[in-house]
A = this chain, B = another copy of it.
Amino acid sequence: MPLGEAIFTQRAIRRLKPDPISDADLELILAAAARAPSGGNLQPWRFVVVRDPDLKQKLAEYYVEAWWHRRSAQGITRPEHMPKNNSSGQAALHFTTDARNYSRAAVLIVVCNVSRADNVMTACQNLMLAARALGMGSTITRLGEPVDERVHSLLGIPTGVDADYCIPLGYAEGHFGPAQRKPLQELAFLDAYGTPGPWHLQP
């Protein structure tokens, strides 16, 4: 798939088929992730590919707990509290009102970070673009408190290694296609912050 098609049709995909991913495809996706640039070439990422159904279900429950924990801090404790115009929050409810929609993913990839000097997002983006090119959908989800210790224990992740993100990955049931983005004029400037450049395209 051309790079442009992968980039311009990538969107968060949460409706996933349970169909398995071949070892060869999984390896290619992980190798693409591992090619990403990092400061000082530290390559701080480690990936725990969770395929075991019981582990996936536990991890799904932890994710849902962490998600509601963060939302309750914003006063959102039930699905109907999520503002209708928060399209990203509305979409997340597919996972967080039924953990089985999350554990149904063929694999859950927990992305760890062994160095707080850098972050793992370039690798996550390579991973998701490679998945997109192979017809698979994904999105980055956050773990963290209050389930952090249980995630570490479940997967044997050493203390001192962060395990903040999890990417549910599988063949897409939903459609790929453009997601909503701000106009480029609001995001990109020429020679001074706020000065528009000669851009006309919408992202």
**Contact between A193 and B156, CB atoms less than 8 A apart:** yes
Whether A191 pairs with B40 at a CB distance below 8 angstroms is no
Q: How far is the CB of A24 from chain B (nearest CB, A)?
A: 9
Q: Which of B2, B45, B155, B191 is in CB contact (< 8 Å) with A49?
A: B191
Measured in the bound complex, the distance between the Cα atoms of B74 and A190 in whole Å is 35
Q: Is A96 an interface residue (CB 8 A)?
A: no
Q: Say whether A106 faces chain B, with CB atoms less than 8 Å apart.
A: no
What is the size, in residues, of chain A's interface with B at 8 Å between Cβ atoms? 78
The dominant DSSP class at the A interface is: mixed
Let me know if A3 and B129 touch, CB within 8 A: yes
Q: How many copies does the complex hold?
A: 2
A147 within 8 A of B: no
A12, A23, A189, A198: residue with the most chain B Cβ atoms closer than 10 Å:
A189
Is A31 at the interface (CB under 8 A from chain B)?
yes
Which of A97-105, A120-128, A168-176 touches B?
A120-128
Across the A-B interface, the 7 shortest Cβ-Cβ residue pairs: A121-B121, A34-B203, A125-B125, A122-B125, A47-B188, A41-B88, A157-B193
Sample 29 A-B pairs with CB under 8 A, ordered by A number: A1-B2, A2-B2, A3-B133, A8-B35, A10-B37, A12-B37, A27-B197, A27-B198, A30-B187, A31-B203, A34-B182, A34-B187, A34-B188, A37-B179, A43-B187, A46-B193, A47-B187, A47-B189, A48-B189, A48-B191, A48-B192, A49-B191, A49-B197, A119-B119, A119-B121, A121-B122, A125-B125, A125-B126, A156-B194
Besides A23-B197, A27-B200, A121-B125, 17 more A-B contacts (Cβ < 8 Å) are: A2-B3, A3-B133, A7-B129, A23-B199, A27-B198, A27-B199, A28-B201, A30-B199, A34-B182, A34-B188, A35-B181, A37-B179, A52-B191, A112-B193, A122-B124, A129-B129, A157-B193
